[in-house]
Amino acid sequence: MSLNVFDWLDPAWNAWDRQSAKLPHAVLVHAPEGHGAFEFAQGVAAALLCENRGSGRKACGVCVACRWFDQRNHPDFRLIVPEIMSEDPQSDGNESGRREKRSEQIRIEQVRELADFLSVGAHRRGNRVILIYPADAMNAHTQNALLKSLEEPPPATVFLLVTSHPDRLLPTVRSRCMRFALPAPDAERVLRWLKEQGVGHPGAALASAGGSPLGALEAAESESDRLRFLDGLKEPRFDPIRLAESIQGMPLGDAVDWLQRWSCDLLLSKFTGATRYHPERGSVIAEIAHRCRAEDICAYLRYLAQARSLSGHPLNAKLFVEDLLLRYRRLVEADS
Ligand SMILES: [Zn+2]
């Protein structure tokens, strides 16, 4: 849990100052995907818990409460996220493939467990803060379970519900929250920040991410992974296992996307000599396509389409990618 909220979120802090003079017990913080709403809400939570804030609006970063918050063990703070986002190393063990599937939803038990937290007084005589992100990861049952706490909140308790999709929350939940729409970030500072993060063409990256700062950063990082991956694919005798390792931890859907585009270009190149997605690699693709049979490329594309639908929840991520690549190698090794 970091106290370092991006400085490009300052317009959000200014708006927050104006709107939060009388802080309600529940706030619905919303912004488009990748605009830093979660990070901002963490900053707000830290500020609400800070014991040394004085008249400042942000957490001091040095008091005991801030240190606890930073180390994620402030007794008066609860962060509720889907298991898939939780950084608990305990649930990360993946030996022998026995790992249980980690939920993308916020489970109803997570919300029910709040009752215990709320039934005892605050440990530090200050605020108690509950941050729920993304709030739309709660289904209707879970939202209903939360409703009771939102209706009768204990004193000095603040719920921060963060989402990019406020319309996915029940009207009953929405109506109990003050709505806070994050204003657009400070564009100049976003560009400077992207540059500091090593993004080569911040302006272009930001534009292609639709103005989303975190989206631009993610796309830039994934772009360098993609290029490395494509470099691997074009090697005549690449090692599928090693190439799979090199993209470990990446969203599997990305790997399938890259292979789909690459294979589409193989087929296109075979018939027309042109490529659609990789014009800069046209000659390599033509060379590989020459070694493949068209019907094998089509079969591989059909297999990728099936894999696409499984990529969100494979039984074993490592085997999943290895299988994609082993089949690809078989395809490009075929003699025409
Ligand atoms: Zn502090």
pLDDT tens, 274-298? 998 888 889 999 999 999 999 999 9
Question: H or E stretch including 309?
Answer: helix 294-310
173 burial type by CB count under 10 A (0-12 exposed, 13-18 middle, 19+ buried): buried
Task: Name the band, by pLDDT with cuts 50, 70 and 90, for residue 251.
Answer: confident
Instruction: Supply 95's token pair.
Output: 């030996």
Determine the distance separating the centroid of ligand 1 and the alpha carbon of 37, expressed in angstroms: 21
**pLDDT greater than 80 at residue 2:** no
- Identify the pLDDT of residue 316: 85
Choose the weakest-confidence range: 15-24, 71-80, 263-272.
Answer: 15-24
d(CA 81, CA 34): 16
**pLDDT greater than 90 at residue 252:** no
- Identify the pLDDT of residue 91: 43
* Rounded percentage of the chain residues whose pLDDT exceeds 70: 93
Q: What is the four-CA torsion angle of 166, 167, 172, 173, rounded to 10 degrees?
A: -20
Task: Name the band, by pLDDT with cuts 50, 70 and 90, for residue 317.
Answer: confident
Q: Are 43 and 17 in contact (CB under 8 A)?
A: no
- Identify the pLDDT of residue 17: 86
Eight-state DSSP code of residue 254: H
d(CA 276, CA 269): 9
Which of 26-30, 103-107, 254-258, 320-324 reaches the highest mean pLDDT? 26-30
Determine the distance separating the centroid of ligand 1 and the alpha carbon of 11, expressed in angstroms: 22
Determine the distance separating the centroid of ligand 1 and the alpha carbon of 184, expressed in angstroms: 27
In this structure, the strands spanning 26-30 and 77-80 are unpaired
Residue of 261, 273, 174 lying closest to 226 (CA atoms):
261
Determine the distance separating the centroid of ligand 1 and the alpha carbon of 43, expressed in angstroms: 11
**pLDDT greater than 50 at residue 92:** no
Q: Are 108 and 141 in contact (CB under 8 A)?
A: yes
Choose the weakest-confidence range: 76-80, 100-104, 290-294, 329-333.
Answer: 100-104
**Identity of the residue numbered 140:** A
Instruction: Supply 254's token pair.
Output: 């990305």
For the stretch 128-155, pLDDT in tens is 999 999 999 999 999 999 998 899 888 8
Eight-state DSSP code of residue 247: T
Q: Are 304 and 260 in contact (CB under 8 A)?
A: yes
Please list, in sequence order, all residues whose beta carbon lies within 8 angstroms of the beta carbon of residue 129, skipping any fewer than 6 positions away: 45, 48, 49, 76, 77, 78, 157, 158, 159, 160
Determine the distance separating the centroid of ligand 1 and the alpha carbon of 127, expressed in angstroms: 13
Determine the distance separating the centroid of ligand 1 and the alpha carbon of 23, expressed in angstroms: 19
Cα–Cα distances in angstroms (integers) from residue 69 to residues 47, 118, 214, 263, 289, in the given order: 10, 18, 23, 48, 55
Which of 52-56, 152-156, 242-246, 302-306 reaches the highest mean pLDDT? 302-306
Determine the distance separating the centroid of ligand 1 and the alpha carbon of 87, expressed in angstroms: 24
- Is pLDDT larger for residue 311 or for residue 322? 322
Q: What is the four-CA torsion angle of 302, 305, 310, 316, rounded to 10 degrees?
A: 60
**pLDDT greater than 50 at residue 333:** yes
Determine the distance separating the centroid of ligand 1 and the alpha carbon of 177, expressed in angstroms: 26
Helix ranges restricted to H, 50-139 = 64-70, 108-112, 114-119
**pLDDT greater than 70 at residue 322:** yes
Q: What is the mean pLDDT of the chain?
A: 88
Eight-state DSSP code of residue 104: S
- Identify the pLDDT of residue 98: 40
Choose the weakest-confidence range: 30-44, 68-82, 227-241.
Answer: 227-241
Average pLDDT over residues 238-258: 88
- Identify the pLDDT of residue 94: 43
- Identify the pLDDT of residue 97: 40
- Identify the pLDDT of residue 76: 95
Determine the distance separating the centroid of ligand 1 and the alpha carbon of 109, expressed in angstroms: 31
Determine the distance separating the centroid of ligand 1 and the alpha carbon of 71, expressed in angstroms: 13
Determine the distance separating the centroid of ligand 1 and the alpha carbon of 54, expressed in angstroms: 9
